[in-house]
Amino acid sequence: EAAPSQEPLARATQEVRVTVGGIDAQVLFAGLSPGFAGLFQVNIVVPEGVESGDAELIVYSGGQPSQTATVAVR
């Protein structure tokens, strides 16, 4: 069944933290993607101080880190 696309959204039940280039990012939303089934979404603001180019991104959920992803920052 698709996640709701209106409030209340299906937000994560555990704390979600994200680092970009080793710097904590502001998490705007973490939860099921509205209108989709089984797709988890995390919206962040890339923090100031992250240099342009490739940066490592790590998502922590419930204190457990994800595998490292590389994202392009400009």
Question: Which residues touch 16 (CB under 8 Å, ≥6 apart)?
Answer: 27, 30, 42, 59, 60, 61
Q: What is the DSSP letter of 35?
A: T
- The whole-number pLDDT of residue 13 equals 94
**Interval 4-25 mean pLDDT:** 95
Q: What would the pLDDT profile of 19-50 be if each residue is shown by its tens digit?
A: 999 999 999 999 999 999 999 999 999 999 99
Whole-prediction pTM: 0.88
Shortest CA distance to 19 belongs to which of 52, 51, 60? 60
**Interval 44-67 mean pLDDT:** 96
The three-state secondary structure class of 27 is strand
**Interval 9-24 mean pLDDT:** 96
How many residues does the structure list for the chain?
A: 74
Assess contact for 39 and 32: CB atoms under 8 A.
yes
- The whole-number pLDDT of residue 53 equals 97
